[in-house]
Amino acid sequence: MAEKSVSMAMLQAISPLDGKLLGEYTPSSGTDIQRQLLAARNAADIWRQVPIKTRCKILGRLLPLLLADLDHLCDRIVQTTGKVRTEALLGEIYPILDLTRYYQKHAAAILRPQSIATSPFAFPGATAGIERRPYGVVAVISPWNYPFQLSLAPLLTALFAGNAVLLKTSEFSLPIGRLIMDLCQKLELPDGLVQWIIGDAGAGEQLLDAGPDLVFFTGGLNSGRAVMQRAAQHPIPVLLELGGKDPMLVFADADLPRACAAALYGAFCNSGQACVSVERLYVQQACHAEFLQLLRTGLADINVGHGPQGDLGAMTSERQFDIVKAHYVDAIAQGAQASGPLERQGNYVKPVLLWNVHHGMRLMREETFGPLLPLMAFQDEAAALQLANDSEFGLNASVWSKDIGKAERIAGQLHTGNWVINDVLKNIGHPGLPFGGAKKSGFGRYHGAEGLRQFTYPVSGLTSRSHLPREPNWFPYSELRYQHFKGYIDFVYGSGSLPQRIKRNWPALEAFKEYSAFDLTQRWQNLKLWLSWQRDY
């Protein structure tokens, strides 16, 4: 009875722009999800047998579908998320075009079986290698801030790798889930290969309990903990892309006008609702006053709203605005100065710059995920690194200096999964660079070769072509045999030149002459093979 009542309770999609009803959706029940998982397993068995080049060709059909309907897609994303149209185009759709094209070109090479060198002595006549196999059914649980990109990127990666996908979008992004399913249907994929789970956190729990083979989750730290804990009960491997508190380090020798424009964009694009938003801005004391003035001037030119010149759209979630407000109030109470009050009209929030801040404030330690930019001064490189690394998060970071060598040296000491020099945010969209976090920003990667391999598991194999009646290490054992093996080990790994090792271990080598790999007539050839193997191993 309880499940029936849950399945009958409709979920409404409300636009954050104007409160308009975008649609009503029936949540997936536990029984629905079990049935979907079974269908996904059947589809995965079919899809994994499709040659990867054929999979790439099929998935490549998405590109013309997106290009043919860009305006409609952008408008639907705007209505659902509240972001401005340009942000929908560049932040949601362009990265999917780029990622799809990248895997079209490179997926086959990335997942190609790999040959591994083998020792001709330990493994005579053997070949070895590694192949990548798809997990089977991947559960993709996506967030509300970039619901199109952060659903389709892992979904497509899982498909390129040969998996089926059960997609659970945020309850705040249901129209985008419908949009993605319509696109996938046009690709003519096997029935059940991509399916949609509708619901809130409870549906996510039921999805995990159904037992998919891999979970890819994007969201906040607390939700990530809950996903990991739930998955561990089964257990199911998880990839977690969690929150950030990304630092931006601006040195006095940086191009300050460019750095200022980047800081404002990095902090306030999508109203600060990005996991890689600039949430901590550290500026060298020598240019702090000048940079603060540049920021205040630039801040005045940012337009909030969906007019022809609109830069910042609406915030998507009321709950998230409450967090932003709490961080602002806490900072002001502890002595921070602000460019103005936290103003809200409907779901539109005016961006605020704060200074005279310190690490005891919530907005310097917790993920804000909204249009606040705190500014703090530092004296030198050591202080900048100490401040930047003083966080439980480690997702992305940027370093600003005209001295590229210095900037790269500093970036190499940041405790983060990703970094960029003299730019912001854009690096996470590079399709060839694996993206993911360090510390409490999660683990696992997507994008690039490493990201594609994350949706597969390695299977190693060794094929023996030996015609010997038995191997040297098989029974029977004896004390003499033990001594011979010691000699063999000393011959391979011991000190001294090759002639020295042959001379002192000749009895052991002679004892193994019954094996073709150790036949004296072949010894020199095998020695050359062994030396080659040692060089390659």
Active site residues: 241
Any residues with CB less than 8 A from the CB of 162 and at least 6 apart, and which?
44, 47, 48, 50, 52, 55, 133, 134, 456
User: Beta partners for 127?
Assistant: 463
364-368-288 Cα angle (round to 5)? 45
Rounded Cα gap, residues 253 and 67, in angstroms: 42
SS3 245: coil
Crossing angle of helices 94-110 and 52-59, in 10° steps, is 170
Decide: 218 and 141 in contact? Cβ < 8 Å: yes
DSSP 416-441: SS--EES--SGGGG-TTS-B--EETT
Rounded Cα gap, residues 397 and 422, in angstroms: 11
Strands 246-250 and 344-345: unpaired
Crossing angle of helices 52-59 and 149-160, in 10° steps, is 150
Decide: 405 and 229 in contact? Cβ < 8 Å: no
Sign (positive or negative) of CA dihedral 510, 514, 515, 516: positive
Rounded Cα gap, residues 77 and 92, in angstroms: 8
Instruction: Work out the end-to-end distance of the chain between its first and last CA atoms, rounded to an integer number of angstroms.
Output: 62
223-429-448 Cα angle (round to 5)? 90
Neighbours of 521 (CB within 10 A): 8
